[in-house]
Structure 1
Amino acid sequence: MRLHGWGRYPQVEAQQLAPLTVSASRALIGAHRSLLGRGMGRSYGDSALHDCVLNTRYLQHLLAFDASHGSLRCQAGATLDQLLDFLVPRGWFLPVTPGTRFVTVGGAVASDVHGKNHHLHGCFSEYVDELLLGLGDGSLLTCSRSEHAELFHATCGGMGLTGLIVEVALRLTPIRSAYVNQTTFKLANLEDALQGFESQRQRTYSVAWIDCLARGAELGRSLLMVGEHALDGPLQLPRQRRLAVPLDMPAALLTHASMQAFNSLYYRRVHQAEVGRRVDYRRFFYPLDGIGQWNRLYGKRGFLQYQFVIPKAAGLQGMQAILRRIADSRRGSFLAVLKVFGEQNRNPLSFPLEGYSLALDFKYDSGLLALLDELDARVLEHGGRIYLSKDARMSEQTFKRSYPGWEQLQAVRARYGAQGKFISRQAQRLGLE
């Protein structure tokens, strides 16, 4: 069958296995020369693509929940949406969550996802106590920070290359309401935006929408949104109505002029310098999840999401230079998201490092790859790197220069029989076979 990531580029023909049980998964691992675990397919590029993938959609059971201490054990195919439906009415939430709830827990571990609170609370793996991993010979192994620690750290952020994540034990965070108190700051340019992040650093959650097509004195104008879980209000939410994009949009509609008009209207819709409101957690954390199949907005050829981080030392000048190049290319994005990151963790391939991250969507066309190669060079120049879960075309040289932990990952993979067994199209491209 034909498979692709959320960006719909690239696409491959693959055999997709969907075992009903853990024992069936173990048998399939042993029976195939090489394969890759796959969840919801919401990574953007080719990190969940291979000639043979083992889909975990039936391995989605919640196994144990401790309401007094806030801990949960589940199978890796359970989605964050599934967890939240169970946890929020009971007064618990995920300590770290990405921008979509339609990813599996196993995928969240493999990508070591981050959220709007990385500057204070780090990545998803910080709240993972234990993993059950299927190894290349079909056996199961428990790993944690104290047991097979090198395998645990390599698996968190390891993009599925160390084995099949089977079960995950998580710690949770308590909440009193399903709502978030959100404040939006309207900021005139990138300098104001970065200063805004710093002035709001003690807020639990922060994220900025940025107009990547603005130029001159308005370069990087932004809407900075910060939030805290509300201390009162219901824990139950009404059922969400989801709209859906019914078909692939004509690529001709996505022009520089249409994106510029949208960005201008979106920025100007906020009329005050500071606006406070209460929103339900779905609108704050997962605004795009209310639109089904929104990736169709970019047409049949798909799109590439480009997310990078650069250190704080390069912050303003580095980000300004990259934004100017993007604006000059006239290839802007409707959705450009700026975040601030805290300290880097111990996981060899985990993406965040202390600095600023920008994520943009680019409609795919014949000239895009050359622009992204140029942006890669600028990111490397400033000591940054590209997020593997969003990547579809980074070179091996760029990867190995920006992720020095790759050799550590390979050593762990060799030790536990994962090299050549668990592999993706991305890993092949980056020299991680």
Structure 2
Amino acid sequence: MPQVETEQTQQRLGYEPDAPTGPASFESWGRYPAYNANIIPIHWQGDFLDAASKLHNGALPVGMGRSYGDVCLLKDGNLLVTTGMNRIIDFDPETGLLTAEAGMSLAQILDFIVPRGFFLPVTPGTKYITLGGAIANDIHGKNHHVAGTFGCHVTQFELIRSNGDRKLCTPTENSDLYAATIGGLGLTGFISWATLRLKPIVSRKIDYEGIQFRGIDEFLDLTEESKDIEYTVSWVDVTSTGRNFCRGIFMQGDHSPKKDELKPSPESKLVFPFEAPSFALNPFSVGAFNTAFYHKQIRKRVMSLLDYEPFFYPLDKVLHWKRMYGKRGLLQFQYVIPWEYAREGTVAILKEVAKSGLASFLAVLKAFGDFPSPGLMSFPKPGITLALDFPIKPGKSFPLFERLADMTLEFGGRLYPAKDAAMTARQFQAFYPQWQEFARYRDPLLTSSFWERVTGDRPTL
């Protein structure tokens, strides 16, 4: 099949298709930390093997840089940028199996599959990530309680090791590398291509319902009531206290069964135009936004028919929205706490956030189901997950994050490496005690700033 056009996607994300290679700055989505690296574009499988034979100071395959912290960074190392590997290899409309190169973005996959009556089995809150990145971080979405993680739907992939070994990885063939690579942060080898089992649809529309709730107990009741609905997620106000503590909007939906025109999504034309000043996001402005957002629903329950774009990817509508956090960037904090302590832990952490005075208006609360991931290092487990975005405030943000991470640990939870720029080595190794087992599968050439920060492990080539 023909190569899928990527120039528009690269330009709207800030990457130029013919950008010079060599030493340059490569930002994660959170823009912190800021590191330089040697940028090496990868267009074919052979490019990786050629690069691997010449590099002896560490390398990391990366996609579109949408991880929030340093899992996609390697300070003064070699970043192997895979977005040039964006070709579809095979598609079977009878089985819904799509095989594509790992540098293809979810946006490009959607443009191909939606007109053919299919959708992604699991999707995160942005479509601007690569297939390889989705596997390496074992992403989750609004339907974890019924579909599990992205890795649950990856039937096979090819993993190329820096010594030239090529491994076909499936649940039954090279199953140890299969498990280590799903959620393996790009450290087990170079994913050249993967096969994904898609979900059939007949419409772009989502049967949507938004429900206002007040308090964690109402959220938990709605979670229980919606077990048979495919997609559920909640926005929660983390600035309010008293009777408005933990108020929010519970959003749920299913793919519409009514046949509708299936067509690719239009290109987004909205761009956040400038770096917002550091004082723009403060408790007053964010509190006002949260109040307005909660009350935008006039009624407690609202039902409508939504296109899938605003339902799954509301932030993708505004390109470069991270600029609203200013030049210092942002930090994201995401935990999962198991059901045994989920209510108690969530209330305690939300109170700690409100007490801190740090502003977060992108707060997402949802439940993870009992749907095991095939990944050795995968983040989700049954319980409640909360994701918060904060502007970086010197002297305040990192102490808060350390407190929140320790509280998460006390409640038996863990943090999501793909969203992290702050957890300590002590915390990571407690969250993921299997890390030493995983380290046995790390390719000797591959490493990342995150991995070195939380383990002290270095490349051996």
TM bracket (short chain): over 0.9
The whole-number CA distance in structure 2 between the counterparts of 1:402 and 1:154 is 17
The 8 Å contact of residues 133 and 166 in structure 1, kept in 2 or not, is answered as: yes
| 1:377 matched to 2:398 | no
Report the count of equivalent residues: 428
| 1:401 matched to 2:425 | no
| 1:355 matched to 2:377 | no
5+ long unaligned stretches in structure 2? 1-23
Q: Deviations over 1:278-327 (max 9, x none)?
A: 11111111110000000000000000011111011112111001000000
The 8 Å contact of residues 130 and 143 in structure 1, kept in 2 or not, is answered as: yes
The 8 Å contact of residues 359 and 391 in structure 2, kept in 1 or not, is answered as: no
1:201 maps to which of 215, 224, 227? 227
SS at match of 1:4: coil
The whole-number CA distance in structure 2 between the counterparts of 1:56 and 1:405 is 28
**Residue 197 of structure 1: CA displacement?**
1.1
User: In the superposition, relative to structure 1, how do residues 240 and 230 fare at CA in structure 2: closer, same or farther (>3 Å)?
Assistant: farther
Match of 2:266, as an amino acid?
A: R
The 8 Å contact of residues 4 and 45 in structure 1, kept in 2 or not, is answered as: no
Matches within 5 A, 1:202-221: 202-221=228-247
Matches within 5 A, 1:8-23: 8-23=31-46
The 8 Å contact of residues 336 and 384 in structure 2, kept in 1 or not, is answered as: yes
Farther off after superposition, 228-237 or 158-167: 228-237
2:51 maps to which of 28, 32, 42? 28
The 8 Å contact of residues 178 and 237 in structure 1, kept in 2 or not, is answered as: no
SS at match of 1:31: coil
The whole-number CA distance in structure 1 between the counterparts of 2:267 and 2:87 is 23
The 8 Å contact of residues 28 and 67 in structure 2, kept in 1 or not, is answered as: yes
| 1:184 matched to 2:207 | no
Match of 2:94, as an amino acid?
A: S
SS at match of 1:95: coil
The 8 Å contact of residues 268 and 318 in structure 2, kept in 1 or not, is answered as: no
Matches within 5 A, 1:339-350: 339-343=366-370, 344-350=372-378
The whole-number CA distance in structure 2 between the counterparts of 1:280 and 1:240 is 14
Map of 2:309 onto structure 1: 282
Map of 2:70 onto structure 1: 46
| 1:423 matched to 2:451 | no
Identity %, equivalent residues: 38
Map of 1:306 onto structure 2: 333
The whole-number CA distance in structure 1 between the counterparts of 2:266 and 2:135 is 28
**Residue 237 of structure 1: CA displacement?**
5.5
5+ long unaligned stretches in structure 1? none
**Residue 411 of structure 1: CA displacement?**
2.2
| 1:66 matched to 2:92 | yes
The whole-number CA distance in structure 1 between the counterparts of 2:289 and 2:426 is 36
**Residue 275 of structure 1: CA displacement?**
0.6
Q: Deviations over 1:318-345 (max 9, x none)?
A: 1001000000111131110011101342
The whole-number CA distance in structure 2 between the counterparts of 1:385 and 1:125 is 19
Q: Deviations over 1:49-107 (max 9, x none)?
A: 11110000111101100001100000000000000000001100110011100000000
| 1:250 matched to 2:273 | no
The whole-number CA distance in structure 2 between the counterparts of 1:282 and 1:176 is 15
The whole-number CA distance in structure 2 between the counterparts of 1:228 and 1:392 is 34
The whole-number CA distance in structure 2 between the counterparts of 1:238 and 1:369 is 39
The whole-number CA distance in structure 2 between the counterparts of 1:225 and 1:107 is 26
The 8 Å contact of residues 286 and 361 in structure 2, kept in 1 or not, is answered as: yes
The whole-number CA distance in structure 1 between the counterparts of 2:331 and 2:92 is 40
Q: Deviations over 1:238-294 (max 9, x none)?
A: 624431111101111111100000000000111111110011111111110000000
| 1:150 matched to 2:179 | no
SS at match of 1:14: strand
| TM-score, L = length of structure 2 | 0.91
**Residue 412 of structure 1: CA displacement?**
2.4
The 8 Å contact of residues 268 and 319 in structure 2, kept in 1 or not, is answered as: no
1:364 maps to which of 377, 387, 392? 392
The whole-number CA distance in structure 2 between the counterparts of 1:3 and 1:11 is 8
SS at match of 1:430: helix
Map of 2:10 onto structure 1: none
Match of 1:427, as an amino acid?
A: W
The whole-number CA distance in structure 2 between the counterparts of 1:85 and 1:41 is 21
SS at match of 1:129: strand
The whole-number CA distance in structure 1 between the counterparts of 2:144 and 2:450 is 25
Q: Deviations over 1:365-399 (max 9, x none)?
A: 21210010000110000000110000012111101
**Residue 192 of structure 1: CA displacement?**
0.7
User: In the superposition, relative to structure 1, how do residues 365 and 238 fare at CA in structure 2: closer, same or farther (>3 Å)?
Assistant: closer
SS at match of 1:43: coil
The whole-number CA distance in structure 2 between the counterparts of 1:120 and 1:239 is 29
The whole-number CA distance in structure 2 between the counterparts of 1:122 and 1:115 is 8
**Residue 20 of structure 1: CA displacement?**
2.5
The whole-number CA distance in structure 2 between the counterparts of 1:239 and 1:143 is 35
The whole-number CA distance in structure 2 between the counterparts of 1:352 and 1:378 is 18
SS at match of 1:246: coil
The 8 Å contact of residues 190 and 222 in structure 1, kept in 2 or not, is answered as: no
The 8 Å contact of residues 270 and 319 in structure 2, kept in 1 or not, is answered as: yes
SS at match of 1:313: helix
Farther off after superposition, 230-239 or 346-355: 230-239
SS at match of 1:253: coil
Match of 2:408, as an amino acid?
A: V
The 8 Å contact of residues 208 and 253 in structure 2, kept in 1 or not, is answered as: yes
